Amino acid sequence: MGSRGRTGVRLLVRGLVFREFGGEISLESLPDPACSPDGVVVQVLATGVCRSDWHGWRGHDPDVTLPHVPGHELAGTIVDTGRDVTRWKRGDRVTVPFVCGCGTCPQCTSGNQQVCDYQSQPGFTHWGSFAEYVRLDFADENLVTIPPGIDDTIAATLGCRFVTAFRAVVDQARVAPGEWVAVFGCGGVGLSAVMIARAAGARVIAVDISDARLALARDVGAVSTVRAGGTAAELIRELSGGGAHVSIDAVGGNRVVGDAIASLGTRGRHVQVGLTLAAESRPSIPMDRVVAKELTIMGSHGIQAHRYPAVFALLDSGALDPELLVGKRIPLAQAPAELAAMETFEQVGMTVVDRF
């Protein structure tokens, strides 16, 4: 590890960097990140390997400029604070939503920091957490204290996929007990959505191409599973007795969006979480069904820092156990291989870097 957190000395630190989209991701010595006046620098103790990082590496995100350090799901300890920071100090153990709000735009002042007009995103708008240290801006607006009972690995898994699923299920879809919820895609977001919807009392149908992922979905709460593609939408309508009340697309892509909407019953609600980027950026929507069935289509983009207490309360109650979703714990040097493997959608559970 670098010595900044112990001595205050600014040294080169280790991190993963790529210099061309889709190119080699190498472990190198990088400059220690400078602390902005309203921000902090955090020593990273754990960071998730997320498909959003894969999109950034592949060049699908216009915010990413080269060279770049990915990583946005993190937990760590503050080692430096900017002069304008009032709520945080060195030694505080924190996590952060992957969308950081500015605190002053109309979206932030209305409590919707997840769609801030001037948002920053570690690992996208600036260098991220696949390194020993990361800079986080607008600290007073965005940081979240990690409760003592939650370890660093679990806190890192919350940082994007789990809390994104929480907002999609609880705040956007407003899933109610007894409703049928179809979750398309059983990666990190999808499995989190299965678990959270089940905790809300819903009957969950999980959809994926992988038998191993579908098995894990059953383990965390799905009452039925369906293989993706083909007649998936029709099977969901049969299983749910006319169509799901809620569909959640945790994958993205033309076929998945259409199937998820087609799986809904009358006045159903669709929540789009998975990114539709590059060639899949303009998916075909069965608008005739949307009109005839009075369907609702919503996006869901991250979560606000002020909603974390609701997530922590469910974890504390035992209703949710994100540790069931952790598939691998790896050293930082193995993260490039894990990221490249996301091309195939074959990983089961979440991968977390916990050794630097």
The tens digit of pLDDT for each residue in 107-145 reads 999 999 999 999 999 999 999 999 999 999 999 999 999
- pLDDT of 6 above 70: no
Question: Does position 2 have pLDDT exceeding 60, yes or no?
Answer: no
Residue 5's pLDDT band, with cuts at 50, 70 and 90, is very low
Shared domain check, 140 and 8: yes
Helix spans in the chain (H)? 4-7, 51-58, 106-109, 139-142, 152-157, 163-166, 188-199, 211-219, 232-239, 254-262, 287-292, 308-317, 335-341
> Are both 166 and 138 inside the same structural domain?
no
Is the pLDDT at 1 greater than 50, yes or no? no
Query: Is the whole model's pTM more than 0.85, yes or no?
Result: yes
Asked, for residue 313, whether it belongs to a domain, the answer is no
Same domain, 166 and 142: no
Q: pLDDT band at residue 280, thresholds of 50, 70 and 90?
A: low
168 shares its domain with 242: yes
Same domain, 99 and 138: yes
244 and 118 within one domain: no
Half-sphere exposure of 133 (CA within 13 A, CB side): 26
On whether residue 36 sits in a domain, the answer given is: yes
Q: Parallel, antiparallel, or unpaired for β 144-145 and 40-49?
A: unpaired
CATH, residue 330: 3.90.180.10
DSSP H stretches of helix in 84-180 = 106-109, 139-142, 152-157, 163-166
On whether both 295 and 200 belong to a single domain, the answer is yes
pLDDT digits (tens, 9 = 90+) for 224-276: 999 998 899 999 999 999 999 999 999 987 889 999 999 999 999 999 998 77
Number of structural domains in the chain: 2
Is residue 342 predicted with pLDDT exceeding 90? no
Residues 242 and 332 in one domain: no
CATH of the domain at 194: 3.40.50.720
The pLDDT score that the predictor gives to residue 7 is 45
Domain of 54? 4-146+321-355
